[in-house]
Structure 1
Amino acid sequence: MAPISAADIPTLSLLYKLKKLNASRLAPVQGATPTHNDRIGLIRGDITSLQVGAIVNAANNSLLGGGGVDGAIHRAAGPSLLAECRTLNGCQTGSSKITSAYSLPCKKVIHTVGPIYDDIRPDNSERALKGCYTSSLNLAVKNGLKTIAFSGISTGIYGYPSLDAAMVACETVKNFLDRDKTIDKVVFVTFEEKDVRAYNQVLPRFFPPNTKTSTEQEKAAEEQKAEAEAKVGQLPDVPTTDPADADYAQKKQKHENNK
């Protein structure tokens, strides 16, 4: 599979324009803004094919490989990735560590350990998941990486509900981009249908399409009306009689005077 460059990954602005993504039927979350729509990418596919600054590996605490995306990244990178991971002494849940990418087309791999979803104490799971996204983004900035791609962390065998996980991901990324100006693009990579549906539903609530507000539309309409009225005021008055009638009356009066 040919690598996909960061520039070729569609942004939310483009997806809205092409009608591939629609505004949410639900109200936007507080603070939602289209400001970052050119800095958010969305693609369904294989994260190992992305030619970006860093891809984020949903790893386990050992960092020594596993199933799902973790296993796919290790297979695509080659044995040198595992050799480097052995030197890292594992990683705590909610934290991240960075390695070289070896045979992958990206520059770096950021390994983050997502939480096993706890439906009894979901707040703990949420804090840990936020930590995954924040620590990964911080590592990208620290290492001078301009683009970073995330798959759905903890939404596989760790059991985090896809919709809830997408809410955490979008909120954390939005808050980070509000502060940071160095990251050019954050890419959300979906693969399974449940993740596709989740991000299609959640992204527009945090990053709505850039449309004019009703107030702006009313203001534009008022300006157009005022401009039209000004032009009308410069025109001569509309005659109240037919010009032909006036000409006839004038000739008749002249004829009467000559009698």
Structure 2
Amino acid sequence: MPHVIAVHGDITQQHVDAIVNAASPQMRGGGGVDGAIHRAGGPAILDDCIARFPRGLAVGDAGWTTAGGLPASWVIHVVGPNHRAGDTDRSRLESCYRRALEVADELEARTIAFPLVSAGIYGWPLDDAIDPAVETVSGTSTRVQEVRLVALDGETVKRIEDRLR
């Protein structure tokens, strides 16, 4: 099982093997974490998304692209459920974390940084987004050695740390 830590910072600045992107189903960039990753990584990420995923990705699934100019080797894109649009199926949210770890294993990644999937623009309630993140990454068999749960604000990091205890 991986060592799971909470990190206060910018996911686009994490020096890890893979950075996880909370992508839209179309995989064409957007707002929130998705937009930040695309902006920081540059056009190579979008070019790879278009080439590798011409029809996008399904909710709960994951796939990888280059990391472009990010300090990582890969971006693992996951599509979380949109709580604001009524998709409140927690198993689909858990699937994002599980599938990202499976893709990381395929890539032989040993370190990975996750945002809280669906907790931003998609409106998943914060504590209810933290629980499946912590439970799934802590309980999934993987060769990943370190999982970072990254948040921009200190209060969210504290809540993740409390849950990790």
TM-score of the superposed pair, with normalisation by structure 1:
0.59
Runs of 4+ in 1 over 6 A off after TM superposition: 118-121
2:146 pairs with one of 169, 185, 207 = 185
Higher fraction of helix: 1
- Could you give the per-residue CA deviations for residues 111-167 of structure 1, whole angstroms, max 9, x where no partner exists? 000101169774x2x011001000000000011110111011101111101101111
Higher fraction of strand: 2
- Could you give the per-residue CA deviations for residues 22-60 of structure 1, whole angstroms, max 9, x where no partner exists? xxxxxxxxxxxxxx6x81222111111111010000100
Unaligned runs of 5+ residues in structure 2 are none
2:22 corresponds to: 58
1:207 corresponds to: none
1:253 corresponds to: none
Following TM superposition, by how much is the alpha carbon of 1:195 offset from its aligned partner in structure 2, in angstroms? 2.4
1:101 corresponds to: 67
Report the Cα distance in structure 1 between the residues aligned to 2:154 and 2:16, rounded to whole angstroms.
24
If asked which structure has higher relative contact order (CA below 8 Å, sep 6+), I would say 2
Is residue 2:46 matched to residue 1:82? yes
Find the residue that maps to 1:167 and give its secondary structure.
Answer: helix
Find the residue that maps to 1:170 and give its secondary structure.
Answer: helix
1:203 corresponds to: 164
Letter paired with 2:33: V
Q: Is the 8 A contact 1:74 1:82 kept in 2?
A: yes
2:96 corresponds to: 132
Indicate the percent of aligned positions where both proteins have the same amino acid: 39
Unaligned runs of 5+ residues in structure 1 are 1-35, 205-259
Structure 1 residues 120 and 63: alpha-carbon distance in aligned structure 2, compared to 1, 3 A threshold: closer
Letter paired with 2:19: I
Following TM superposition, by how much is the alpha carbon of 1:193 offset from its aligned partner in structure 2, in angstroms? 4.8
Give the superposed CA RMSD.
Answer: 1.8
Q: Which entry has the higher C-alpha Rg, 1 or 2?
A: 1
Report the Cα distance in structure 1 between the residues aligned to 2:104 and 2:147, rounded to whole angstroms.
11
